[in-house]
Amino acid sequence: MIQRAIDLASLSAPGKAAILYGPRRAGKTTLLHLYLQSCGMRYRLETGDNIRMQHLLGSADMKEILAFAEGYELIAIDEAQQIPGIGIGLKILVDHRPDLRLIATGSSSFDLAGAVGEPLTGRKRTATLYPLSQLELRATMNDFDLKEQLPDFLIYGCYPEVVTAQTRSERIGYLEELVGSYLLKDILALERIKAPRPMLELLKLVAFQVGSEVSLNELATQVRLDVKTVARYLDILEKGFVLVRLGGFSRNLRNEVTSKAKYYFLDNGIRNAVISQYNQLDSRNDIGALWENFLVAERLKKRAYTAMYGSSYFWRTYAGQEVDYLEEQDGRLSGYEFKWSGKRRRRPPKSWTEAYPQADWELVTPDNYQPFVC
């Protein structure tokens, strides 16, 4: 059993609603069940797929909702994004049962967050459970073992069932099923998108441009959609835990690029499954993109799990000088360049040091990456 970074015992509290977000199959339900089995409280577990629960918790019928929770110390709702108006139902329980603990999980942050945001202002605690992180795996593997498995992480990603699978065929089969059946399920349903093909084509285009600046106009032309629709789809994919967006950083210098963004996948395995590429690293021409995607995703997990507050960007000038990734925290800038081979430039771009002489800078390679992600 791999210990997850989120502790539901700490997240939940009487008189508060604990909201656990995260992509499908990242382990939210497993984490919830393990907590319920050990919590020692009288609990009730329901699922948002239950039509009766959808009617009850979405009804705002105070008498019925309170009767539903009577005699229980904890109410847990898995896949709560399936319940329209869930926020009002949870608010009734929080307001009228201050002794009660509430836990709701959801795989669609944009829908569940919108449903619970205003009704539960000041009454909720939130956390996001991602696919397994290097930080979590380090509790069961030493640094040598993690590095030995680095090629697998770059190709197959870090979803729990992928990491624990015994064979290559099992990993590929799982990823194909995940992309084909689950990845866009909530997104397509909740956004009432009847034709998934354009969104899948958009994902494929983004997969081939990982680490590069993305032009919405070019994407729109290639998928035959208008620019506003492409921007909307990318926003949905980001809020649906598929993509991660990095904007350009600038302190208003004329030569800095800020109008474009870079997109990364939350998981390398999903990226490779979208384009059906599972060949080994020595026969690939996209190892640089895989390495960059892995580091951005793992850094995001580390920041979330260790409360590293701040903002993330990339930096580039119109002359082509760039820093792959940078963070701004408490007014201090830290720039990072990601290199798989580590044989190229070991100094920051001249224009970067001239513009930001007080900033830190580091080259991240397979030889020194672990402090960056663990």
* Residue 311 reports pLDDT greater than 90: yes
* Residue 186 reports pLDDT greater than 90: no
Q: Which one-letter DSSP state was computed for residue 299?
A: H
Distance (Å, rounded) from C-alpha 174 to C-alpha 11?
30
Tokens 């980001």 -> residue? 238
* Residue 318 reports pLDDT greater than 90: no
User: What was the pLDDT predicted at 100?
Assistant: 96
Report whether 17 contacts 90 (CB < 8 A): yes
Among residues 19, 24, 62, 15, which one has the least CA distance to residue 242?
Answer: 24
Q: Which two tokens stand for residue 227?
A: 């620019």
Q: What angle do CA 286, 180, 238 make, to 5 degrees?
A: 65
Q: What angle do CA 264, 198, 324 make, to 5 degrees?
A: 15
Compare 40 and 124 and report the one with higher pLDDT. 40
Tokens 């829908």 -> residue? 111
- What is the per-residue DSSP string for 74-99? EEEEETGGGSTTHHHHHHHHHHH-TT
Distance (Å, rounded) from C-alpha 207 to C-alpha 264?
8
Q: Cβ neighbours of residue 337 under 8 Å, at least 6 residues apart?
A: 323, 324, 325, 345, 348, 361, 362, 363, 364
- From edge to edge, which strands make up the β-sheet containing 101-106? 43-47, 74-78, 101-106, 17-21, 124-128
How confident is the model over 101-157, as pLDDT tens digits? 999 998 765 455 566 656 777 788 999 999 999 999 999 999 999 999 999 999 999
Distance (Å, rounded) from C-alpha 341 to C-alpha 304?
28
* Residue 196 reports pLDDT greater than 70: yes
Q: Mean of the pLDDT values across residues 176-197? A: 73
Q: Cβ neighbours of residue 317 under 8 Å, at least 6 residues apart?
A: 255, 256, 257, 349, 351
Among residues 344, 338, 330, 340, which one has the least CA distance to residue 361?
Answer: 338
* Residue 99 reports pLDDT greater than 50: yes
User: What was the pLDDT predicted at 344?
Assistant: 61
Domains of the chain with bracketed CATH? 8-128 (3.40.50.300), 134-373 (no CATH)
Backbone φ and ψ of 244, nearest 5°: -125, 130
| C-alpha separations of 190 from 81, 84, 110 in Å | 9, 11, 9
Distance (Å, rounded) from C-alpha 337 to C-alpha 253?
21
Report whether 244 contacts 207 (CB < 8 A): no
Q: What percent of the chain has pLDDT over 70?
A: 91
Report whether 322 contacts 315 (CB < 8 A): yes
User: What was the pLDDT predicted at 292?
Assistant: 98
Distance (Å, rounded) from C-alpha 132 to C-alpha 142?
15
Compare 24 and 243 and report the one with higher pLDDT. 243
Q: Which of 73-82, 157-166, 196-205 has the lowest mean pLDDT?
A: 196-205
Q: Mean of the pLDDT values across residues 19-46? A: 94
Tokens 């896949």 -> residue? 79
* Residue 36 reports pLDDT greater than 70: yes
Distance (Å, rounded) from C-alpha 365 to C-alpha 324?
13
